[in-house]
Structure 1
Amino acid sequence: MTDTSTPLQAIHQLMAEGVPTGKADDAHARRLWWGALEVLQQRLLSADPSWEGVWIAAPLPALYAPELLQRYRGWVWAPEALTLLNDLQSSTLLPSDLISAPTGVAEAPLLSHRFQRMTLCAEDSQDPFLLVITSKLQIALALQGQEGERRLLMRSEPSLLTRILALVEQRLKEEDQAQAKSLHQALNDLGPLQSSGDFALQFWPDLAQRLASMAPTVTFQTAHESPEATPQAHASGDIDAELSLLEAIAHEVRTPLATIRTLIRSLLRRRDLPMKAMERLQQIDTECSEQIDRFGLIFQAAELQRQPEGPSPLARTDLGAMVRLLSPIWTQQLKRRGVGFAMTIADSMPLVLSDPGRLEPMLGGLVDRCSRSLPPGSKLLLTLQPAGARLKLQLISHTPEQIASQTVDPVQQERLGPVLSWNTNTGSLQLSQTATRRLLESLGGRVTQRRDRGLTVFFPIAEQC
């Protein structure tokens, strides 16, 4: 550790010793991080419930399963800006039992799974870190490296973990002597560290399997401002604070949903459940997937606020086939809300230039955006047809009153920062018009949106080979 390094900075440096330089960008590194957390957590959930342990994380809580939060004691270093989370206890966005109590506050027995929260300083590393020490398994995870050289670090050597714990205790002593003594006593109760070689050998194959099943649209950004952020972000810290809060909310919403979906899909493989139960489980699975995709799009939009504008690599994409393939899913999705869906696609549609991997969830996000605030009895119309050198995709919604009167009333939206907006009549939260436009532009689309004609997107037609 250098003289200018904080203990939390030194942890990442220590874990990187002897590890080859990474080659990932931040988006791919974040996918590795979330996949690694799920692999580790599933291992802990399947372990003997009698295992005791502690966990230490920064810059946000990394464990989220209530069973683990109840079973293990936790210490979390989080940015001071995220004290805003304490104001959300009455909100439906975050479960109140997952919001940490201030350091040093005694907790009621029913809230014994809350973790101790410490303050992350500006000079600390903002890269995520998690250390789990149980009586049978000890593991440390972290992300480290510059953009384009990012890497996931997983270390389980007892000698290295001992050095990491020494840095953690050093930091705690600087902030709160009582908490340092509490952690030291908890570690002594667990006994000496031992090798977790069996888990370490299985970790990387399990991670590869987990990544293969993860939705490709879910990416997360760090809670600090990129050096290449937009001029607006440099002019004000509000955008950065909002993105930090969005990341925290997504952590508390998306990760439990992913766990629920995994458990639901394991139940769906059984053949001894009543048909009605299978139908209910399928509905839950679908709802979880939709919400996971929604937060994926929100964070793609947030990412664009940090990144400089530039051309994106686009490929030949069969937009007509994609829309036809997705239309049954949209029909069922809207049917659950009591909204009708109709589609008109011209014959022999040419290919367009876009990013098919990101365009598919984006189309679902457009359908969701145009229909989420609609009351039952409404209709959503989708048309796709040539328009000169482009294909025109149009989404127009009609409420029952509009259908009866043959009019189209504007939807009242209020902007909540650069990424989100909400319908003032229904309270429905969604991507803002600006964020939607920027996302579609990154996919080759050009958006026009009039209050009386819904949403229209023009995609450039690809040249014939």
Structure 2
Amino acid sequence: MNANFELDQLEISKTISSVLRHANEDCDDQPISVNQRRRQWRGAIAALERLLQDQDPQKHSAGMVLSSPSPMFCDRQISEHYQQVVFAPKSLQEVAISTLQLTGIVEDCPSTATHSFLEFPIFANDPLHQERFCLVLTPQFSFAMVSADEGGFQFSFDPAVFNELWQMLRWRMALTQPFQFQTIQQLWRQFAPVAPDYRLVSRFSQLMLRSLPDMNLVTATPKTKPVKEKVSVSRDIQPELELLQALTHEIRTPLTTIRTMTKLLLKKKKHLTGDIVKRIETIEQECNEQIRRMELIFRAAELETPSHCREVQLIPTSLEQIFYNGIPLWQKQAQRRNVDLQVILPQTLPHVVSDPAMLDQVLSGLIETFTRRLPSGSEVQIHVSTAGNQLKLEVQSQGIGQKCLEKAIGQLLIFQPETGSLSLNFNVTKNLFHALGGKLRIRQRPSGDDVFTIFLPLGNNISLTV
């Protein structure tokens, strides 16, 4: 790999915001409030998602999305056809641990792995640490946007700015994750920046204006909730958190390797018998479920860390996509335990304000934990409705027989000796929903059946028909 960089030529102080501000210097540069900036960012994300959904990945190569500090989209089509690259705030210690994983086993956004992405670190002293940005490259258009304290919200379709942006990002990737950088460099060459059709720029502007959330909602929905609402955990939890993070990483690495091997075998399934294909698909499904569980435990441990400072980015989130992807998976998991799961949805599903990838993970984890606790032959009903300016999701059960015994392990996990499964305890799960801008309530009916109620803030007035 050719990555010869002169440190004095890296222009470390340059930011995405400064590049786009210079490119848009002829535009009005009046300062805007933090809430206005958040509102514009959310509207732009919703508009950009619609543009990418409108592309035809069957006729064209898809593209690449680079963002910070979290993945931008949870839409199934985007996840499957667009390589997502995330620049995430990390410490040097975290980077050192992550580089110990086997090279050549980097997930390259497999279609069956929801929200798979390549990750590169941004250190605390890096100027990009203070910015939220998103770069999109497709055969039809190139797009960049940024939200920062200095410069506010900026966006551009001008392909001329992308060479400068690429120079800023490429050395950071090459120095921290050189093997993953080779993949990104090939994709960058494949999707060279292009000027868009003027009608596409006009459509983006119209979609963004239509997608702007109400100002009252933006003001009332900060990125993080007050600390006092969070369920407290002991201060001596740090050793347990470090152990959990190390274990989940060590478990996830071989599972990812096994999943990669199953994908290679399934590419040759025409040479295999139907029975063998079915067994390989079962192995792949089990790997996917365990990997998702380990990722959720790792994320929970990260959020519980006292020194954790990375905020969860909340944006308008399509519930249609989450339920479209999740319901078949939840029902399949329940059927394996002889539990009948039914989901009752309203005619239209509103957007909510949350982190789409993390909400999908946490919601799936909670429903899996709920069904695992029930005896064979139970019934689970999930009812989705609106309650004022919130979305209400209620999960309740009806079962005959004794629930599986559970045992607390440390301050984060619950262990079921009967099934051998691990899951997050309810205090930690409540903290996860709190970080997502919502809340979880748990109550028990006189019959002994549990009722979980989840509340999430509504995003804007956009509704999608189911």
- In the superposition, the TM-score normalised over structure 1's length comes to 0.51
Could you say if the C-alpha distance between residues 260 and 310 of structure 1 is closer, same or farther in structure 2, counting changes exceeding 3 Å?
A: closer
Residue in 1 that maps onto 2:435: 442
SS of the residue corresponding to residue 400 of structure 1 reads coil
Residue in 2 that maps onto 1:286: 285
How far did 1:430 drift?
0.9
Residue in 1 that maps onto 2:300: 301
2:90 equivalent to 1:26: yes
2:103 equivalent to 1:39: yes
Whether the 8 Å CA contact 1:233–1:240 is kept in 2: the answer is no
Distance in 2 (CA, whole Å) between partners of 1:449 and 1:28 is 39
Q: In structure 2, what residue type is equivalent to 1:25?
A: P
2:182 equivalent to 1:205: yes
Report the aligned-residue RMSD. 4.1
Could you say if the C-alpha distance between residues 385 and 320 of structure 1 is closer, same or farther in structure 2, counting changes exceeding 3 Å?
A: farther
Could you say if the C-alpha distance between residues 298 and 38 of structure 1 is closer, same or farther in structure 2, counting changes exceeding 3 Å?
A: same
- Gaps spanning 5+ residues in structure 2: where? 1-5, 14-86, 107-119, 129-176, 188-226
Q: Which of these two proteins has the greater Rg computed from alpha carbons?
A: 1
Distance in 1 (CA, whole Å) between partners of 2:125 and 2:403 is 44
SS of the residue corresponding to residue 348 of structure 2 reads coil
Could you say if the C-alpha distance between residues 462 and 204 of structure 1 is closer, same or farther in structure 2, counting changes exceeding 3 Å?
A: closer
Distance in 1 (CA, whole Å) between partners of 2:437 and 2:264 is 38
- Gaps spanning 5+ residues in structure 1: where? 1-15, 43-142, 152-199, 211-227, 402-408
Q: Which runs of structure 2 are paired with 1:286-435 in the superposition (5 Å)? A: 286-306=285-305, 307=307, 312-401=312-401, 413-423=406-416, 428-435=421-428
Q: 1:249-270, CA deviations, whole angstroms, 9 ceiling, x for partnerless residues?
A: 2233211110000000000000
How far did 1:208 drift?
7.2
Could you say if the C-alpha distance between residues 293 and 29 of structure 1 is closer, same or farther in structure 2, counting changes exceeding 3 Å?
A: farther
Q: In structure 2, what residue type is equivalent to 1:464?
A: N
Distance in 1 (CA, whole Å) between partners of 2:90 and 2:452 is 32
Distance in 2 (CA, whole Å) between partners of 1:329 and 1:377 is 18
How far did 1:315 drift?
1.4
SS of the residue corresponding to residue 422 of structure 1 reads strand
Could you say if the C-alpha distance between residues 420 and 384 of structure 1 is closer, same or farther in structure 2, counting changes exceeding 3 Å?
A: same
Whether the 8 Å CA contact 1:446–1:458 is kept in 2: the answer is yes
Could you say if the C-alpha distance between residues 463 and 203 of structure 1 is closer, same or farther in structure 2, counting changes exceeding 3 Å?
A: closer
SS of the residue corresponding to residue 147 of structure 1 reads coil
Q: Which runs of structure 2 are paired with 1:109-124 in the superposition (5 Å)? A: none
Whether the 8 Å CA contact 2:245–2:301 is kept in 1: the answer is no
Residue in 1 that maps onto 2:124: 147
Percent identity of the aligned residues? Answer: 29
Q: Which runs of structure 2 are paired with 1:270-285 in the superposition (5 Å)? A: 270=268, 271-285=270-284
Give aligned pairs, total: 276
How far did 1:35 drift?
7.1
Distance in 2 (CA, whole Å) between partners of 1:202 and 1:426 is 39
Deviates more, 1:342-351 or 1:367-376: 367-376
Whether the 8 Å CA contact 1:24–1:147 is kept in 2: the answer is no
Q: In structure 2, what residue type is equivalent to 1:436?
A: T
Whether the 8 Å CA contact 2:354–2:436 is kept in 1: the answer is yes
How far did 1:240 drift?
1.6
Distance in 2 (CA, whole Å) between partners of 1:231 and 1:448 is 12
Could you say if the C-alpha distance between residues 385 and 309 of structure 1 is closer, same or farther in structure 2, counting changes exceeding 3 Å?
A: farther
Q: In structure 1, what residue type is equivalent to 2:365?
A: G
Whether the 8 Å CA contact 1:39–1:207 is kept in 2: the answer is no
Residue in 2 that maps onto 1:241: 239
Whether the 8 Å CA contact 2:317–2:353 is kept in 1: the answer is yes
Could you say if the C-alpha distance between residues 235 and 32 of structure 1 is closer, same or farther in structure 2, counting changes exceeding 3 Å?
A: closer
How far did 1:392 drift?
0.8
Whether the 8 Å CA contact 2:231–2:427 is kept in 1: the answer is no
How far did 1:423 drift?
4.0
SS of the residue corresponding to residue 462 of structure 1 reads strand
2:242 equivalent to 1:265: no
Residue in 1 that maps onto 2:250: 252
- Alignment match of 2:451 (pick from 449, 454, 460): 454
Whether the 8 Å CA contact 1:317–1:356 is kept in 2: the answer is yes
Whether the 8 Å CA contact 2:319–2:351 is kept in 1: the answer is yes
Whether the 8 Å CA contact 2:334–2:340 is kept in 1: the answer is yes
SS of the residue corresponding to residue 317 of structure 1 reads strand
Q: In structure 1, what residue type is equivalent to 2:124?
A: E
How far did 1:376 drift?
2.7
Residue in 1 that maps onto 2:82: none
Could you say if the C-alpha distance between residues 396 and 35 of structure 1 is closer, same or farther in structure 2, counting changes exceeding 3 Å?
A: farther
Residue in 2 that maps onto 1:132: none
Distance in 2 (CA, whole Å) between partners of 1:341 and 1:28 is 44
Distance in 1 (CA, whole Å) between partners of 2:451 and 2:458 is 22
How far did 1:245 drift?
1.9
